[in-house]
Amino acid sequence: MKPLKVGVIGAGRIGRLHAENLVRHIQGAELLWVADVVGEAAAKAAREFGIPKHTTDYHEVLSDLEIDAVLICTSTDTHAEIIRAAAAAKKHIFCEKPLALDLAEIDSVLDAVKEAGVILQVGFHRRFDPNFRRLKELIVEGSIGSPWLLKITSYDPAPPPIAYIRASGGIFLDMTIHDFDMARFLLGEVEEVHAAGSVLVDPEIGAAGDVDTAVVTLKFESGALGVITNCRKASYGHDQRIEVLGEKGGLFAENPLPHTAMLADQEGYRSAPLHHFFVERYREAYVAEMEAFVAAVRNKTAPPVTGLDGKIPVVMGYAAKRSLEEGRPVRLSEIDPALDAG
């Protein structure tokens, strides 16, 4: 089969990560273009990863007839525009989360993608983590029977800059959104969320109108309950664990450690701190995510994370936000009546 010809749009941290994975670890794809509004960023990535062409104008990538697919790794506020342009150019699309912060915008974008008949995969990389995948398999195999109670622990090592927080849409749309996706991935659709939040890490985060520590309770359509705990700071690294209690047993996906060496002395046993952050923690997941995208496009199969999978966690984020503001549980259908499956 002919290799997939790919262009990456956005050469920031995540764009570079995907570019490097494509070049070094992914079979069946060739990276031909890198675009970034900052010319030097594009040039640097091209140089470092051996990408033949670079530009400051992503339209150049889209108008290259050789290109089959693009990876959209720019800032969130540009996603919708680029997706529309890429769909119009009949390019398959991998887009980082969130698709957009405006729900109407997301709907319009999904329509454009559908009309163009191209594949859209959204960047929820945690679904590709080998530990969480194994958890999912164990649920699907029925190892614990019906799932009753899901617990997701998700802490970052340190908060991002305040400017980032201001533009992020808040903790629920920026950070919890990954956990919302994971909750759906593992236990299916959610009907209602309740959020509690507090400013404990940094008062500046509060001044920016956000919280930095949160507890979000979920009610699934199945009747199961869930709880997500988030914090912008954990001194010991990127703490990412999942538990599921079910009828017949419990499942636990613990943090993988960078190495297994331990030191014992008079103060006890000491093992490694966690992986620092997502780049290290989800290294394998990012590769597997890109392999899955390349495979979906080449084999013309449904992508493992669809456009709707990109939208619903945004709805959940708004529901959590409203719950926190109004001090009450909020049904997803309050945010998007289309989701009232009941």
Can you list the positions of beta strands (E) in 4-85?
Answer: 4-9, 29-35, 53-55, 69-72
Which of 35, 43, 31, 110 is CA-nearest to residue 68?
31
Angle at 283 between CA 239 and CA 186, to 5 degrees: 60
Number of Cα atoms under 13 Å in the Cβ half of residue 70: 29
* Stretch of 65-73, 101-109, 243-251, 312-320 contacting a second copy, by CB under 8 A: 243-251
Q: Which is nearer to a second copy, 88 or 207 (CB)?
A: 207
90 binds a second copy (CB under 8 A): no
We find the least distance from the C-beta atom of residue 159 to a second copy, in angstroms, to be 13
Cβ at position 307, least distance to a second copy in Å: 29
Nearest CB to a second copy, comparing residues 164 and 236: 236
Q: Which of 1, 259, 337, 342 binds a second copy (CB under 8 A)?
A: 259
| Residue 158 binding a second copy, by CB under 8 A | no
DSSP labels, 303-332: -SS-HHHHHHHHHHHHHHHHHHHHTS-EEH
What residues numbered 8-47 form the site for a second copy, per CB under 8 A? 24-25, 27
Min dist CB 322 to a second copy, Å, is 14
C-beta of residue 109 within 8 angstroms of C-beta of residue 99: yes
Q: Which stretch binds a second copy (CB under 8 A): 91-99, 114-122, 134-142, 183-191?
A: 134-142
Count the site residues for a second copy by CB under 8 A: 74
Smaller CB separation from a second copy, 50 or 301: 50
Binding to a second copy by residue 262, rule CB under 8 A? yes
β-bridge partners, 190? 220
Provide the 3-class DSSP secondary structure of residue 16: helix
CB 268, min distance to a second copy, A: 4
Q: Could you tell me the two tokens for 40?
A: 């030097």
Q: Which two tokens stand for residue 336?
A: 């998007």
- 144 is an interface residue for a second copy by CB under 8 A: yes
User: CB 215 → a second copy: shortest distance, Å?
Assistant: 5
Tokens of 6: 């790919």
Nearest to 177 by CA among 214, 219, 131, 137: 214
Which segment (7-15, 37-45, 125-133, 169-177) binds a second copy by CB under 8 A? 125-133
- The CA distance from 214 to 35, in Å, is 37
Q: Does 245 bind a second copy (CB under 8 A)?
A: yes
For 151, the 3-state DSSP assignment is: strand
Instruction: Indicate which single residue of 62, 100, 110, 253 sits in contact with a second copy (rule: CB under 8 A).
Output: 253
Q: How many whole angstroms separate alpha carbon 123 and alpha carbon 120?
A: 10
Q: Which of residues 180-239 bind a second copy (CB under 8 A)?
A: 194, 196-201, 213-215, 217, 219, 223-227, 229, 231, 233-236, 239
Closest residue by Cα to residue 171 from 190, 187, 154, 149: 154
> In the set 75, 142, 249, 338, which binds a second copy (CB under 8 A)?
249
322 is an interface residue for a second copy by CB under 8 A: no
Between 74 and 240, whose beta carbon lies closer to a second copy?
240
Total residues found in the chain within this entry: 342
- Does 261 sit near a second copy (CB under 8 A)? yes
Interaction between residue 138 and a second copy (CB under 8 A): yes
